[in-house]
């Protein structure tokens, strides 16, 4: 699914204090693209991800997904859009502690009519032999791969990842990124990854650098874009 963000502003008001988290963002993301949003802490990365994914409202501006203006959706329509079309991964894995790997992924599958099988997805993220383990029996990297499997099993059109390697050491983080890159290549899922980890930029089609609520710079990885022939969908 393609995304078009136009003149988006987000201001948080806390008592007397106003925080201009987004100061006028314009951005297009193509179907099948893997975009990385980089920037220092407090630059507005999570806010941008949250407004694009409908987790939070904009103060001004519009967001279109496949030419549908989601910023005009009501709560009910937005909830069903999020549930059916979007996947989410966070820094904390948010797994249910009393469920096995397989069962945690089953939770993700529950509401969807996805053609993907839980076992296929577990193979794809390298957790075939971990499927009967509980979260406490696994490493952080393995737990994050469970959360990826849970998000991906419904075959989301867009996968949103906020600091997916934030709790992992460098090598484990790289393995998790490789899993995301493979999913992007094999399923064609549009993926947006927010991070302040600069090492992540090698897997991106485009890197969006943010600073103080604005887009500072966009760097396109031409070789990857040409090879993938991403479309505007
Ligand atoms: P990043 O993800 O790049 O670290 P955020 O998008 O979380 O940045 O935050 C951008 C700015 O908005 C920061 O100044 C932050 O303190 C502020 N902010 C974020 N969420 C809220 C909120 N719910 N209420 C008030 N201020 C917020
Ligand atoms: Mg953040």
Q: Using one digit for the tens of pLDDT, what is the confidence trace for 20-74?
A: 999 999 999 999 999 999 999 999 999 999 999 999 999 999 999 999 999 999 9
Q: Of 11, 21, 214, 216, which is best to mutate to test ligand 1, by the most ligand atoms within 8 angstroms of its C-beta?
A: 21
Amino acid 233: pLDDT: 43
Handedness of CA 49, 55, 60, 62 (dihedral sign): positive
Collect the ranges in the chain with pLDDT lower than 70. Answer: 110-115, 223-233
Assigned fold of 30-59+68-229: Rossmann fold (3.40.50)
- Report the complex ipTM: 0.99
Residue 62 CB: number of other CB atoms within 10 A? 14
Q: How far apart are CA 206 and CA 156, in angstroms?
A: 20
pTM of the model: 0.92
Closest CA to 3 of 27, 37, 39, 38: 27
Amino acid 18: pLDDT: 96
Domain ranges of the chain: 30-59+68-229
Cβ neighbours for 6, distance < 8 A, ≥ 6 positions apart = 26, 61, 62, 63, 64
Backbone dihedral region for residue 22 (phi beyond 0: left; psi -120 to 50: alpha; all else: beta): beta
Q: How far apart are CA 183 and CA 145, in angstroms?
A: 12
- Closest ligand to C-alpha of residue 210 is 1
Ligand 1 and 17: CB distance under 6 A: no
Q: Of 17, 25, 44, which is best to mutate to test ligand 1, by the most ligand atoms within 8 angstroms of its C-beta?
A: 44
- Closest ligand to C-alpha of residue 39 is 1
Starting at the edge strand found earlier in the chain, the sheet holding 206-211 runs 86-89, 158-162, 190-195, 34-38, 206-211, 214-220
């Amino acid at each position: 699914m393609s995304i078009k963000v136009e003149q988006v502003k987000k201001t948080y008001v806390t008592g007397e204090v106003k925080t201009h988290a987004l100061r006028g963002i314009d951005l297009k993301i193509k179907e099948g693209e893997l975009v990385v949003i980089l920037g220092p802490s407090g630059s507005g990365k999570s806010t941008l991800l949250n407004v694009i994914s409908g987790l939070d409202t904009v103060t001004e501006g519009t967001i279109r997904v496949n030419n549908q203006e989601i910023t005009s959706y009501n709560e009910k329509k937005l909830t069903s859009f999020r549930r059916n079309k979007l996947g989410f991964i966070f820094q904390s894995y948010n797994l249910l502690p009393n469920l096995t790997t397989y069962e945690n992924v089953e939770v993700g599958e529950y509401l969807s009519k996805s053609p993907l099988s839980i076992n296929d997805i577990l193979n794809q993220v390298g957790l075939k032999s971990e499927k009967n383990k509980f979260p406490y029996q696994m490493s952080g990297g393995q737990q994050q791969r469970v959360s990826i499997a849970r998000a991906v099993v419904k075959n989301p059109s867009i996968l949103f990842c906020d600091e997916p390697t934030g709790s992992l050491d460098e090598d484990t983080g790289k393995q998790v990124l490789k899993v995301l890159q493979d999913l992007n290549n094999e399923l064609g899922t549009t993926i947006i990854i927010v991070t302040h980890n600069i090492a992540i930029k090698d897997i991106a089609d485009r890197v969006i650098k943010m600073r103080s609520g604005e887009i500072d710079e966009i760097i396109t990885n031409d070789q990857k874009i040409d090879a993938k022939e991403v479309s505007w969908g």
